């Protein structure tokens, strides 16, 4: 199934000049949703051990949890500031259209655990790089970052020091 047929472009969102890639149509279609989750799982090299999958707020939660199920791994939500109820570590980062803070529970990762980081879109790499830093601070090992969409012109993968994979390239 061609999941690119379920990606919608939204001009000037969230601010003028941004061409937003909306995955909502993909989420609305059961067959596209399953196909995308399977394609994301197939991006993980065979015989790679993954202990936990991180899904980045908020769209990364959806496929992240589906990936965790397929990879027989636990799931970790990484959230924006103030959304997690337990002891956290946090890190501020820059977006292509502003800045934000990400948080993870301090007990989410044990030293040496193999982590797959998932988000819907790789743009400038700021979010994924920040998540990788949080994982490493907790003693985890990022095995791969994977995405539904990679926006090649923004060169986000250049800011990541781990393998990167995406189902779609724009």
Question: Domains in the chain: how many in total?
Answer: 1
For residue 96, indicate whether it is catalytic. yes
Element holding 61 (H helix, E strand): helix 59-70
pTM of the predicted model as reported, rounded to 2 decimal places:
0.95
Q: Give the pLDDT of residue 94.
A: 77
Is residue 3 included in any domain, yes or no? no
CA distances from 102 to 58, 72, 119, 126, 170 (A): 11, 25, 13, 11, 26
Residue 109 is assigned to a structural domain of this protein: yes
Is 70 an annotated catalytic residue?
no
Q: Are 118 and 143 in contact (CB under 8 A)?
A: no
Residue 78 lies in a domain: yes
Secondary element (H or E) of residue 105: strand 98-105
> From CA 61, how far away is CA 75, in angstroms rounded?
9
Which member of 57, 59, 79, 103 is catalytic? 59
CATH number of domain containing 93: 3.40.50.2020
Q: Which of 4, 70, 96, 136 is catalytic?
A: 96
Averaged pLDDT in 10-residue chunks for the chain of 170 residues: 97 91 98 98 97 97 98 98 97 80 98 98 94 98 98 96 98
Is 25 part of any domain? no
């Amino acid at each position: 199934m061609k999941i690119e047929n379920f990606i919608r472009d939204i001009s000037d969102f969230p601010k003028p000049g941004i061409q937003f890639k909306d995955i909502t149509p993909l989420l609305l279609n059961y067959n596209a949703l399953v196909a995308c989750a399977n394609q994301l799982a197939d991006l993980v090299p065979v015989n790679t051990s993954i202990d936990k999958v991180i899904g980045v707020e908020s769209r990364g939660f959806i496929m992240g949890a589906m990936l965790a199920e397929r990879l027989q791994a636990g799931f970790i939500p990484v959230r924006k500031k103030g959304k997690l109820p337990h002891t956290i570590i946090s890190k501020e980062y820059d977006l292509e259209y502003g800045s934000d803070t990400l948080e993870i529970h301090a007990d989410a990762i044990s030293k040496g655990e193999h982590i797959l980081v998932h988000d819907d879109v790789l743009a400038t790499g700021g979010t994924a790089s920040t998540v990788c830093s949080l994982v490493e601070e907790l003693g985890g090992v990022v095995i791969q970052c994977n995405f539904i969409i990679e926006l090649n012109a923004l060169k986000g993968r250049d800011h990541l020091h781990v393998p990167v994979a995406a189902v779609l390239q724009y």
